Structure 1
């Protein structure tokens, strides 16, 4: 069974009114929230264009995370089945296993510098030409509005939201706006790793959807997604709730790019997983105090 076919069909509902109440003291009615959407918009399979640099002069907050552990597990794709996945490297929450539940993640230790970021992030492992693992030096999670999206309308992720970006079974190049490689924080993107100058790190970039359907926290079917990408700064009517766009940047030491692969297969099979187990009050504060106010938080350079 493929990773895509094996994705759990479990989903849960988190009322949109509760989401908005946690952000603004507004009515629970969606129309009063200033949510972007248009009847002409359609669910988008990728952002319109790559984000121009991981740190830009746009509203954002970030979390820097060390490696937590490596495991042949994927609690989103193969929940409850230890060893059923290709190898992943995990960042953030240290309690993650194949069978862990959301409640077990809350308040668990984290490798992130923001101690209340107990979310979990994971990607496939980078391999050298001999198939040996190249350990990352760390990861950075950037939370921003999607391109052109009104930052004052963003809603925090609901508790227990799960997202996957990129295709572990890709048989060719993926859009640079979803999966890309760069040298450190350079704005130059490539579909495969390139040789980086000096001591610049080799960085895998995975950009997640930023429009939510307002109800489900996970769906297994690629034809019935609970999250999609915005287009031209708007969310489609099917997914009218704008959420922060997460870009996960995984840094590796300088390495010869020839012959590299991923534990999921070819070097073009990059992807990432995110499980929202943030302290929810802290997440709401970050959205309100950083994104809604249009400022950058925890960013040392632009």
Structure 2
């Protein structure tokens, strides 16, 4: 309860809102939260953030990374999601490439847009936000989630059919049912209310409480069981599905799947994301206590930042050696490993 008592004692308003890019640090079958130590894990993930990412991450990961693919050079956190594949009518699979968000600097290598907010997409807010702690981790969604058809699915886990890279709405609970002119965006909003005691929980979710509604709409108040308001964390990933638009199945069925389950998840209800906190020192708390918004937080105001070349240079070595770029007879993890060709 030490952190909770300190939080309540220091309670005061802040107005920070962070939005920044992270290029891809790795795409491989590793999952240190759900399958710690497994090499490879059951399904494929795209990962951004610090280069300390590995199969058995423990403790303060900010001390175990030497570089990061994120804009803020003090941010060694890791963020990861399932990978999207196109399923050809002949049964083979092709990994969908990732595009950068139009709001980010040019040249970012794939990756994601990351948000730490407390209000909504257009404004900051005025409540006390407590930064995550060293060793903190959580997930949102589940690859085994399978509601009845017609359900709105998990709140905050959405798809956007893009007209262009700036499209934001409407947010859909499942994959779009038609070819999208500008690609598909996946959105993952995490819960923002902490129990004040546990850095993790057996299901990686129970130590947090979900107040997310739709999109970046302001969340409700935190309950007594989870009284500490933390940043509203969100990931956006833009998938370049346009190259497959002329291969859309004749029967109109959705050809995209997520990288898990027998034959993949073609509904999208099982979309999920993982987070391990790894900001250096008090950097994130300093940001949350400031009044900066988005790129105004860069260049030491109050956070140190780096250029795109430095972001793209950071990487994690391939620990599995699996072929991911050719047309594949099955999803990675659904058959024998196909070894990557030597370059």
- The reply to whether TM is greater than 0.5 is yes
RMSD between superposed Cα atoms in Å:
2.8
Contact 1:82 1:99 in 2 (8 A): no
What is the match of residue 67 of structure 1?
A: 24
Bigger shift: 244-253 or 140-149?
140-149
Deviation string 1:222-246 (CA, Å, 9 cap, x unpaired) is 7x81001237620010000000111
In structure 2, which of residues 137, 157, 169 is the aligned counterpart of residue 162 of structure 1?
A: 137
Structure 1 counterpart of 2:329: none
Q: What aligned pairs does 1:277-296 form with structure 2 within 5 A after superposition?
A: 277-289=278-290, 293=291, 295-296=292-293
Cα distance, 1:14 vs structure 2: 6.7
8 A Cα contact 1:153 1:242, kept in partner? yes
Evaluate the alpha carbon distance shift between residue 149 and residue 218 of structure 1 in structure 2; reply closer, same or farther with a 3 A threshold.
Answer: farther
**49, 52, 68: which one aligns with 1:110:** 68
1:80 aligns with 2:80: no
- Shift of residue 71, structure 1, vs aligned partner: 1.9
Counterpart of 2:180 in structure 1 is 196
Equivalent pair of 2:16/2:289 in contact (CA under 8 Å): no
1:207-262 Cα shifts (integer Å, max 9, x gaps): 0000000010100147x810012376200100000001111001111333731101
Q: 169-178 or 236-245: which moved more?
A: 169-178
The structure with more radius of gyration: 2
Cα distance change, pair 32–110 in 1 and its aligned pair in 2 (3 A): closer
Q: Between Structure 1 and Structure 2, how many residues are aligned?
A: 249
Structure 2 residue matching 1:15: 3-state secondary structure: helix
- The runs of 5 or more residues in structure 2 that have no matched partner are 99-109, 213-218, 249-253, 298-343
Deviation, structure 1 residue 193: 3.1
Work out whether residues 146 and 230 of structure 1, in 8 Å CA contact, stay in contact via their aligned partners in 2.
no
1:140 correspondence with 2:113: yes
Which residue does the alignment assign to 2:146? 171
Note the alpha carbon deviations across 1:85-138, whole angstroms, 9 max, x for none: 311110111221111333454343111111111100000110111322213232
Q: Residue 299 of structure 1: CA displacement?
A: 7.0
Residue 260 (1) aligns with residue 256 (2): yes
Q: Secondary structure of 2:144's partner? A: coil
The 1-side partners of 2:230 and 2:158 are apart by: 22
- Relative to structure 1, the CA distance from residue 166 to residue 273 in structure 2 (aligned partners, 3 Å threshold; closer, same or farther) is same
Distance 1:234 1:268, change over 3 A: same
Cα deviation, 1:4-34, whole Å, max 9, x if unaligned, reads: xxxxxxxxx873245x3xxxxxxxxx37736
What is the CA distance between 1:190 and its match in structure 2? 1.2
What SS class does the counterpart of residue 102 from structure 1 fall into?
A: coil
| Pair 1:247 & 2:234 matched | yes
Comparing 61-70 with 144-153, which one deviates more in the overlay?
Answer: 144-153
The structural deviation recorded for 1:174 is: 5.4
Does the 8 A contact of 1:214 with 1:240 survive in 2? yes
Given that residues 139 and 190 in structure 2 are in contact (C-alpha distance below 8 angstroms), is that contact kept between their aligned partners in structure 1? yes
Distance of 1:14 and 1:260 partners within structure 2:
47
Task: Give the alignment's TM-score, normalised by structure 1.
Answer: 0.73
Distance 1:14 1:157, change over 3 A: farther
- Structure 1: runs of 5+ lacking an equivalent: 1-12, 21-29, 36-57
What TM-score do the two structures reach when normalised by structure 2?
Answer: 0.65
Equivalence map 1:174-253=2 (5 Å): 175=153, 177-182=155-160, 183=162, 184=165, 185-194=167-176, 195-197=179-181, 200-221=182-203, 225-230=206-211, 233-253=220-240
Alignment of 1:18-33 (within 5 A): 20=7, 30=8, 33=11
